[in-house]
Structure 1
């Protein structure tokens, strides 16, 4: 009676799924506000994962219902008993959508040294799902527009016939882009060389080679073999410094210790450094990763800095600083949170400052606080990674990809990332190892 009173029972399936996603989203916000930092971080991490999976799957359900109505009901017809081919098609689509909804569960249960085949299959299906949903929605809008413009019955029949052909076209385009994306993401990262002028750079450090890595995302679809290839390519560049600007991992050290071992082979004459990204905090094991990286000779910059200098010229140095990711404070991760002033405390006004800030929004905020920073290195955007998400990434970030001059004295470089997150595809972007050469301005 109460359900019918509020009209919930009369809502469409899409409406119910939308309400469910809204409820889960607001529960995430409320829990972040009410849960005290005194609560065990593993408990908070478990709660976050459950909420995250529920939220993602409630959103996916909206798209799944949309896809089902078009690629099953529209193509097979809603009347009469389905034929054997139609039943097989329905079963295939149902299996596809089941794999899509199980993708993020793989992130929590199927993480090992190398990616599990089911993880690769599920996340590949998720990539196909995103592309297909985009084209179905786009062509659906075009069909509705044509229907509004049509003024006679014959035109309406043509539109109805065209909608089926649009669905078929959407599936063909999705297949082509998915194959391209899978092949593209499987290629080794491109080595991009970038010369960046830096004011106040000492003569002894002119030409310093700094290799930038970001967004490797060790986890369900990136394992030891891919990391080994990255480390080998880095060592071939013979760098002075290597920096990893966040999102190294998507799971705990206990699951990925073996996968991360190639990091211990990385060679940089003047040191290797790491600053956190948002996904590193999602693991709820940042301290564990700090300890592992330290044992491999990689220094974690936790709102701190290091002096980079050549042994023969100790008086000439660069202040290389790293800040915690923006989301550390939102997640109420104990002892963590972006603090630019703390990170730069002790940096000399006569020395150039290079800041590692995972998110471009963090880079923007840091430069508002300290306009004397010479160069900010960021990642996070993946250059969109997967079309049409490219559009969202471009619109939502102050710096999207590549080199930006912010002021006369400051530049920002955003890498598209060295790996990929979850979906093993890259469309309209490429994985990158950035070989930065610092030059005197």
Structure 2
């Protein structure tokens, strides 16, 4: 405890963050078999909020140091008679503090401000979070550049004198990037057409259209009107099959039932199908969502498959399979867990297999186990969604975005997502509805 008291504020927050992280690991293993799903979900939410806000607090201390203390902290007049000249500094401090508080409140709104349409406070707080991410990244980049300047200039006079200008430049760039990100995020998803050759696809099914959706994230910043726009665009494509590859929702059915109603209006010729993403398991309401989707004509593929064929040509078909998300096992969700053998059991070796697997990591594992799968459809990466998160998404995923040929017989398509997650911005990526046309190879 004596050593802890000597730590800096950043050090103390870092230690607290580590404690929260390890408590999440312990609760996933030791407590997972002893408490019910609902209790585990509430515990996970509390731990998640603590972890996120601990990490944000580290960044907030850094932002405050550069944007407030260095810019105006030392310039505040000491004389009481000069208080009238100090009000711009006080207003600036209050504005930065409000901005940081709103950014910290973003994930609270995810759990408490979810309804049919996004709440204004949710949109504002998540927009602040997006600005926070951009600003923190730019400040860190300019801070690193400043340190290099100190090293090469052999003195601090030049570097210190330039630090204020660098902070102002970071603020200006943040405003421009955030404005662009909000504008880009508000645009309808672009329709991307992709032709995929499938070996063993019957000639009668050549040209069959599969529309791929993923990462809609119904929740605090995505509501009914956005989903309705997506459904209208999909129907205009006149698809044969619609597939939703996970992360449809960020909350329970009871909160989002009205927001999700437009799903009933999907009109594919041969059916709509769904496979879970990690966020479905975070809601702890997967079974409720399965029941809701079935009532709207969408078939969940829960480590299972369906035979897709044209009317009157039941002898010509392909196998459409779906697996549970990787994190179902990590969260020890009862009755769920990725099982590719179960999913494709009954699929013929003489017919192509198209697999829905939310995470590219799952796709990679599946293909190591079953290299006979013809096509895997994934999402999850959002193509980074928001620079600089793009760099992280690219580094941690084996497949990032677009069409990949894994072997002579197998391809993977990773969609950047149909809307966005939380932050209503896209920088360096664009939301997408993918129309995949299957061709006989």
Match of 1:99 in 2: 102
| Matched position secondary structure for 2:368 | helix
Deviation, structure 1 residue 161: 1.2
Please state whether the residue corresponding to 2:422 is helix, strand or coil: coil
Structure 2 residue 75 is the aligned partner of structure 1 residue 75: no
Report what 1:139 is aligned to: 142
Q: Secondary structure at the match of 1:77?
A: helix
**Shift in Å at residue 77 of structure 1?**
2.6
Q: Deviations over 1:89-121 (max 9, x none)?
A: 000000000001100000010000000000000
- Please give the alpha-carbon distance, in whole angstroms, between the structure 2 residues aligned to 1:112 and 1:324: 26
Please say if 1:18 is aligned against 2:14: yes
Counterpart of 1:111 in 2: which secondary structure? coil
Q: TM-score, normalised by structure 2?
A: 0.97
Residue of structure 1 equivalent to 2:253 = 253
TM-score (ref. length: structure 1): 0.97
Q: How many Å apart are 1:311 and its aligned residue?
A: 1.5
Return the offset for 1:78. 3.5
SS in 1 for 2:312: coil
Preserved contact between residue 37 and residue 333 of structure 1 (Cα < 8 Å): no
Secondary structure of 1:16's counterpart equals helix
Matched residue SS, 1:416: coil
- Which residue matches 2:409? 409
2:215–2:248 contact (8 Å) kept in structure 1: yes
1:122 paired with 2:125, answer yes
1:377-396 equivalent positions in 2, closer than 5 A = 377-396=377-396
Residue in 2 that maps onto 1:358: 358
For 1:13 and 1:387, the matched residues in 2 are separated by 28
3-state SS of the aligned residue for 2:242? Answer: strand
- Does 1:242 find its partner at 2:281? no
CA contact (8 A) 2:116 2:258 kept: yes
Extract unaligned runs of 5+ from structure 1: none
Equivalent residues of 2:150, 2:158 under 8 A apart: no
CA shift digits 1:358-396 (9 cap, x unpaired): 000000000000000000000000000000000000000
CA RMSD in angstroms, aligned pairs only: 0.9
Q: Which runs of 5+ in 2 are unaligned?
A: none
Distance 2:259 2:39 in 1: 25
The equivalent residue for 2:87 is 84
What residue is the counterpart of 2:226 in the other structure?
226
Which 4+ residue blocks in structure 1 deviate beyond 4 angstroms? 79-82
Separation in 2, partners of 1:38, 1:297: 36
Deviations 1:290-311 (Å, cap 9, x if unpaired)?
0000000000000000000012
Deviation of 1:84 (Å): 1.0
1:21-420 to structure 2, matched below 5 A, reads 21-37=17-33, 39-78=35-74, 81=78, 83-151=86-154, 153=155, 156-420=156-420
Q: Mean alpha-carbon deviation: is it higher for 51-60 or for 35-44?
A: 35-44
SS of 2:165's equivalent in the other structure is helix
Distance (Å, rounded) in 1 between the aligned partners of 2:374 and 2:185: 33
Query: Residue 37 of structure 1 contacts residue 334 of structure 1 at CA under 8 Å; is this kept in 2?
Result: no
The 1-side partners of 2:264 and 2:33 are apart by: 33
Contact 2:306 / 2:319 at 8 angstroms: preserved in 1? Answer: yes
Whether the 8 Å CA contact 2:32–2:40 is kept in 1: the answer is no
Q: Shift of residue 36 of structure 1? A: 3.5
In 2: Cα distance, 1:31 partner to 1:428 partner: 36
- Distance, in Å, in 2 between the alignment partners of 1:76 and 1:404 is 51
Deviation per residue, 1:202-254 (Å, 9 max, x gap): 01111000000000000000000000000000000000000000000000000
Aligned residue pairs: how many?
434
Cα distance in 1 for partners of 2:264, 2:411 equals 31
Q: Are the equivalent residues in 1 in contact too, given 2:238–2:268 (CA < 8 A)?
A: yes
Counterpart for residue 439 of structure 1: 439
Matched position secondary structure for 1:123: helix
Q: Is the 1:221–1:423 contact (alpha carbons within 8 Å) kept by the matching residues of 2? A: yes
